[in-house]
Amino acid sequence: MPYKDKDNKKKYQRKWWLDNRERLQDIRELQRRSDRKVKRDWILSYLEMMFCEDCGLSFSGRTWLADFHHVDRSGKKYRGVSKISELGFMRLVQELNRGIYLCPNCHRTRHVKENMSRSLGRQTVSKTVEAGPTPALLANAPLA
């Protein structure tokens, strides 16, 4: 029933909201959780089809091994995977297409190479990483 008096309409809407607030908040929370679960399940099924870009390891059946590596760090907008399921679906797909998937070993190796290239220069990086640690580094390493 439409109200001609705006004050009465506002009072009615306020009363209705107070009477139904808990129910509406519960519904919204269920929808939010459901959307997150759908997105999380989609991400996991997407990872099932992926391979490590460097060594070719399949993530099928072992999605927990997939590390996401941003190729261009300037495009990195979101910190942490836990927040990515809160994005809208289109932004989620865009974010997943900004990088590559690596196994943990290749991901760490790639970051070591990137950090060394920034500090030492590009020519010495590939030789240092491929040759392995020097005897001086091994001599100073703590024993397990």
* pLDDT(121) > 50: yes
**Res 138: pLDDT:** 47
Whole-angstrom Cα distance, residue 94 to residue 100? 12
**Res 106: pLDDT:** 92
Name the DSSP letter for residue 63.
G
Contacts of 39 (CB under 8 A, 6+ apart): 85, 87, 89, 92
Q: Which of 109, 38, 35, 37 is nearest to 67 (CA)?
A: 109
* pLDDT(137) > 50: no
Whole-angstrom Cα distance, residue 68 to residue 111? 12
Q: Which of 63-77, 78-92, 117-131 has the highest mean pLDDT?
A: 63-77
Q: Would you list the DSSP string of 79-143?
A: -SGGGGGGS-HHHHHHHHTTEEEE-HHHHHHHHHHHHHHHHH-HHHHHHHHHH---HHHHHHSPP
Q: Which of 30-44, 112-126, 129-143 has the highest mean pLDDT?
A: 30-44
Q: Which of 55, 79, 77, 78 is nearest to 66 (CA)?
A: 55
**Res 67: pLDDT:** 87
pLDDT tens digits along 19-71: 888 888 887 887 777 777 888 888 888 888 889 999 989 988 888 888 888 88
Whole-angstrom Cα distance, residue 13 to residue 19? 10
